[in-house]
Copies of this chain bind each other. A is one copy, B any other.
Amino acid sequence: MSAALEYEALTVESLPKRLSDVAALTSSVGPDSTFWQVQEVGDGNLNLVFVVSGPEGTVIVKQALPYVRLVGDSWPLPLYRAFYEYHALTRQAARAPGAVPEVLHFDESQALIVMEFLAPHVILRRKLIAGEQVAGLADFLGKFCAQTAFRGSELSMKSADKKADVALFAGNVEIPAITEGLVFTDPYFDAEMNNHTEGLDPVVAQLRGDVGLKVRVQQALQRFASNTQTMLHGDLHSGSIMSTQADSRVIDPEFVQYGPIGFDIGMLCANFLMAYFSQPAHRGDDLEAYQAWILSVITDTCAGFDAAFRALWKNERTGILYPASLFEYQGHDSAPACDAMLAEIWRDAWTFCGIEMHRRCLSLAHNADFEEIEDIPTRARLEARNLMMGAALVHQAETLSDVSMVCAMAQDFNRKDIL
């Protein structure tokens, strides 16, 4: 397949012939493409995802679609996002070795990435709904967030490299615009594509009537849109993580942009909190134990982030920010500076966390954690807890000095009858 060919979406039938001379496939799957087996497994909204298997192995072929699947071809999306996903994957691989699938091939004109097939990994959200634990999950995620955050920032990067990267990823316009709209704006007014569970009207009215909340959300939007602290994954939820019983990887960074450090870990914690609040509808006797495990994942992810960030601060602070010439070389401990930076990161994180908890129940793209609860009054009751905790997080973000306060808040809301 020549790079000069016009874009054409692959199908299960056309893939073997069209990719028959791509070395990444012939060497990883098998030299004769007539022996390849192809399965389309995409469950996302933006892409085709094929599993291609053959005598020598299996790979993933991911191809961007020119529109959002969920709403059909009425919402076109640029194919260039595959270009940004490719560049994000290579940077994440360098900054957090082993954390993302290996890229085997990239074809810009076909918006196509061939990458490592992860097996027996499944989407973490499925495991959370099924009540399965993943060993080492928190450690992996805390480290991933800290390493990508630190090493993609001016704490570590050369200023010129960082600026060049900011310029590169600034071209990824339409995808972050989805976040700007669906996450930060739509939940707080009667937007056309919104939907929410029957029975939630009073809670929705309360959120939209809370001017202070909306101000804080828009301040967070300004930081998201303007504050290019580091390269974000941009969409780090339990559907962007694949796990086995004891191994995890992060996938799908097509929402990549330079943004505030607290964004990824905040979104991530939001998705664990939503898993937590949805559990009463999914579990039986093991409810309490499994909810406790989810809270322990949140606690340990945040502690892992904190520890990894502090270690990087100590060992890899080679950028223009907080130079040793101003601290260590003058006999001054730079720990107070690191403390202050982490305080700001957590302020941001808990704010983004609360906002994500809102949009997943009120805006377009809901979470399976709640969406698969068939009993509507139950779903509304659990979503109401989640929504009100989201508001509390946004309002109290500055004062949440420790993740234990967040977990205590979750336990408190988990007992509340809001509706």
CB contacts under 8 Å to B, within A207-224, are 208-209, 211-212, 214-215, 218-219, 221-223
Which of B166, B167, B173, B212 interacts with A336 by CB under 8 Å?
B212
User: A170–B159 contact, CB under 8 A?
Assistant: no
User: B226–A320 contact, CB under 8 A?
Assistant: no
CB contacts under 8 Å to B, within A168-198, are 168, 170-171, 173, 177, 180-181, 185, 188-189, 191
User: B154–A211 contact, CB under 8 A?
Assistant: no
For the complex, give the distance between the alpha carbons of A337 and B214 in Å. Answer: 9
Which of B164, B218, B326 interacts with A321 by CB under 8 Å?
B218
Chain B: which residue is nearest A153 at the CB level?
B226
User: A170–B170 contact, CB under 8 A?
Assistant: yes
Q: Mark A111-140, 1 if CB is under 8 A from B, else 0.
A: 000000000000000000000000000000
A22 within 8 A of B: no
How many residues of A are in contact with the other chain, CB < 8 A?
Answer: 53
A332 within 8 A of B: yes
User: B215–A337 contact, CB under 8 A?
Assistant: yes
Q: Mark A199-212, 1 if CB is under 8 A from B, else 0.
A: 00000000011011
User: B163–A336 contact, CB under 8 A?
Assistant: no
For the complex, give the distance between the alpha carbons of A322 and B181 in Å. Answer: 12
For the complex, give the distance between the alpha carbons of A154 and B228 in Å. Answer: 14
Which of B162, B218, B333, B340 interacts with A337 by CB under 8 Å?
B218
A229 within 8 A of B: yes
With contacts A185-B325, A219-B340 taken as known, whether A180 is within 8 angstroms of B330 at the C-beta atoms is no
Which of B214, B329, B336, B340 interacts with A327 by CB under 8 Å?
B214
With contacts A167-B170, A336-B211 taken as known, whether A226 is within 8 angstroms of B228 at the C-beta atoms is yes
For the complex, give the distance between the alpha carbons of A71 and B75 in Å. Answer: 56
Q: How close is A329's CB to chain B, nearest CB, in angstroms?
A: 7
Chain B residues whose C-beta falls within 8 Å of the C-beta of A327 in the assembled complex: 211, 214
Chain B residues whose C-beta falls within 8 Å of the C-beta of A337 in the assembled complex: 211, 214-215, 218
For the complex, give the distance between the alpha carbons of A83 and B332 in Å. Answer: 41
Chain B: which residue is nearest A337 at the CB level?
B215
For the complex, give the distance between the alpha carbons of A166 and B320 in Å. Answer: 20
User: B160–A173 contact, CB under 8 A?
Assistant: yes
A227 within 8 A of B: yes
A225 within 8 A of B: yes
User: B159–A326 contact, CB under 8 A?
Assistant: no
Which of B164, B168, B189, B225 interacts with A159 by CB under 8 Å?
B225
Q: Mark A299-321, 1 if CB is under 8 A from B, else 0.
A: 00000000000000000000011
For the complex, give the distance between the alpha carbons of A150 and B174 in Å. Answer: 23
A323 within 8 A of B: yes
Given contacts A154-B225, A167-B168, A226-B228, 20 further A-B contacts (CB under 8 A): A154-B222, A163-B170, A163-B173, A164-B171, A164-B173, A166-B167, A185-B323, A185-B326, A188-B326, A208-B330, A209-B330, A209-B332, A211-B327, A211-B337, A218-B326, A219-B340, A219-B344, A223-B227, A226-B227, A227-B227
25 contacts between A and B (CB under 8 A): A154-B225, A159-B173, A159-B225, A160-B177, A162-B225, A166-B166, A167-B170, A185-B323, A188-B326, A189-B325, A189-B329, A191-B325, A208-B330, A209-B330, A211-B337, A214-B326, A218-B337, A219-B344, A221-B321, A222-B229, A222-B321, A223-B227, A226-B229, A227-B228, A228-B228
Closest 10 A/B residue pairs (Cβ): A167-B170, A167-B167, A163-B170, A215-B337, A189-B325, A160-B173, A227-B227, A218-B322, A226-B229, A226-B228
